[in-house]
Amino acid sequence: MEVIALRRAHLPVLVSVIAVAVLAASAAPVASADATFRVIVHPQVKGSQIPRAALTSIFLKQAPRWGDGSSVLPVDQSVRSSVRKAFSSDVLQQGIVEVQVYWQRKIATGVVPPPVRTSDEEIVSFVASTPGAIGYVSSSAPLPDSVRELAIVN
């Protein structure tokens, strides 16, 4: 009887450890050489390149303005999207879970995360219709003339 009680007492801990391991495995980094995403901006945004550090600051809402003083409006993919996993790993250098924890802390201080769209088409539509917008889409997504692609530089 004591053995069963001991095992039951440890069951919540074991379940927690397994859950953390599964989450960590699902947030494994994706190699940037795969080029699984492209960064897009509204056509009024100037420039053709963006430093990775600046992109990180934009998507973590630490940089609210473009170089010309206009507002930056980032838009994210769904947390279930493989494109977001690749972007988070390559650009933010964090897994999805770590980024979600970051946003939980920021929300507590009144800072809200970027809006989320569930498809490449919705991201393109948002970026095309929102001056100052920036987003990312899969590398295979068709890009209309109403958005521009930015190259990421280190």
Residue 3 has pLDDT above 70, yes or no: no
What would the mean pLDDT of 87-111 be, rounded to a whole number? 96
Higher pLDDT, 67 or 4: 67
Mean pLDDT estimate for the chain? 83
The contacts of residue 29 (CB under 8 Å, 6+ apart) are: 89, 90, 95
pLDDT at 28 (0 to 100): 32
pLDDT at 15 (0 to 100): 33
For residue 6, the tally of other CB atoms under 10 A from its CB is: 10
Model pLDDT for residues 46-86, shown as the tens digit of each residue: 999 999 999 999 999 999 999 999 999 999 999 999 999 99
Residue 100 has pLDDT above 60, yes or no: yes
Cβ(127)–Cβ(76) below 8 Å = no
For the chain, the first-to-last Cα distance in angstroms comes to: 61
Domain ranges of the chain: 2-153
Residue 129 has pLDDT above 80, yes or no: yes
Segment among 5-14, 21-30, 102-111, 134-143 with least mean pLDDT: 21-30
pTM tops 0.85, yes or no: no
pLDDT at 108 (0 to 100): 95
Residue 91 has pLDDT above 70, yes or no: yes
Higher pLDDT, 2 or 82: 82
pLDDT at 123 (0 to 100): 98
Among 27, 119, 45, which Cα is nearest to 81's?
Answer: 119
CA distances to 27, 111, 126, 127, 140 from 78, rounded to whole Å, are 14, 19, 14, 15, 17
Residue 10 has pLDDT above 50, yes or no: no
Q: Which CATH architecture has domain 2-153?
A: 3-Layer(aba) Sandwich (3.40)
β pairing state of 133-138 and 73-74: parallel
Q: How far apart are CA 117 and CA 124, in angstroms?
A: 10
Among 33, 22, 42, which Cα is nearest to 95's?
Answer: 22
Q: What angle do CA 39, 45, 47 make, to 5 degrees?
A: 75
